[in-house]
């Protein structure tokens, strides 16, 4: 279930500051993130940053803007501006499989290993 109505989704996707939109998450452009962090450091209130960038702030919960700015600032300080260029949510990039069968075999072996490990721990 989406937290945005179809009309809100259309409005958000028409904004150049939005790169993509899922049912629960908005991915903003790197330029918007940099601009928002800069404006916030100059004392501009977070909701005003979104409003001046063409967003209808009524779509969002009251604390959304402040929490988003804090999250972006922490990410910038810990991982740098490059961290905003790639999607970091979801499953970490790991082993690549050439087929679903290969992945299934790998997961079966991993499960068997974990089962043995739990059995050893319980002894």
Q: What pLDDT score does 87 carry?
A: 62
Using CA atoms of 89, 92, 96, 102 in order, give the dihedral in degrees to the nearest 10: -100
- The pLDDT, as a whole number, for residue 38 is 94
Q: What is the pLDDT along the chain (123 residues), one digit of tens a residue?
A: 468 889 999 999 999 999 999 888 899 999 999 999 999 999 999 999 999 999 999 999 989 999 999 999 999 898 887 777 766 555 556 677 788 888 898 899 889 888 888 888 887
Q: How far is CA 5 from CA 1, 40, 60, in A?
A: 10, 28, 12
If one counts every other C-beta atom within 10 angstroms of the C-beta of residue 45, the result is 13
State the pTM of this model.
0.66
Residue 49 has a pLDDT of 97
Q: Are strands 18-21 and 26-28 parallel, antiparallel or unpaired?
A: antiparallel
pLDDT for the residue numbered 1 = 45
Is-contact 19 31, C-beta < 8 A? no
């Amino acid at each position: 279930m989406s937290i945005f109505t179809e009309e809100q989704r259309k409005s958000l996707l028409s904004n150049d500051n939005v790169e993509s939109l899922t049912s629960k998450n908005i991915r903003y452009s790197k330029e918007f993130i940099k601009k928002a962090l800069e404006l916030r450091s100059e004392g501009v209130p977070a909701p005003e940053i979104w409003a001046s960038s063409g967003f209808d702030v009524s779509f969002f919960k009251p604390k959304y803007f402040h929490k988003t700015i804090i999250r972006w600032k922490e990410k910038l300080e810990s991982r740098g501006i490059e961290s905003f260029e790639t999607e970091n949510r979801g499953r970490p990039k790991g082993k690549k499989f050439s087929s679903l069968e290969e992945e299934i075999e790998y997961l079966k072996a991993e499960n068997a290993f974990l089962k043995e490990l739990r059995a050893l721990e319980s002894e």
